[in-house]
Amino acid sequence: MLPRWHILSGALFTILILAVAPKISFVYLSLIFFASFLIDFDHYINAVLKTGKLSLIEAFEYYKKREKELDEYERKYKKRVRGDFHLFHTLEFQLLVGIIGIFLLPFFYLFIGMVFHSLLDLIGLAKAGKLHRREYFLFNFLRKRC
């Protein structure tokens, strides 16, 4: 899902939370909203590492090109492949944020925004038939690299 859709969906989700629980502070609502799309910062970090360029536009171009490459490879070889690794999208990272959220309330609201984002990603990947492209577990990623 493109960032603009995560931003729009995050805004609507935050408004929904405000409607359901109007006593939540603006700071916590802001944390949910920003976490709902800034979790994709790991995409940017990955693009910078792969291209060596700091430009956000270059990062978008990298992913557009990368998606085409993966689609062509899968079509040509009839073999499913994983995309790039994104740390903030892993179950372990999000659980860590959730556990910290038990002790530090702001992290709980970050966790809510991150989980919302990940659910949108899962739905989008499933609809596109590309659920297999994401690595969901940090431990699997590390195990395969060693």
At 3-51, the pLDDT tens digits run 899 999 999 999 999 999 999 999 999 999 999 999 999 999 999 999 9
For residues 127 and 115, give the distance between their C-alpha atoms in angstroms, rounded to a whole number: 18
pLDDT tens, residue by residue, 65-110: 999 999 999 999 999 998 999 999 999 999 999 999 999 999 999 9
Are 121 and 2 in contact, with CB atoms under 8 Å apart?
A: no
For residues 18 and 40, give the distance between their C-alpha atoms in angstroms, rounded to a whole number: 23
| Per-residue pLDDT, 137 | 87
Q: Is the pLDDT of residue 146 over 70?
A: no
Predicted TM-score (pTM) of the model is 0.90
Task: Count other Cβ atoms within 10 Å, centred on residue 109.
Answer: 22
For residues 10 and 35, give the distance between their C-alpha atoms in angstroms, rounded to a whole number: 8
Tokens matching residue 124: 């989008």
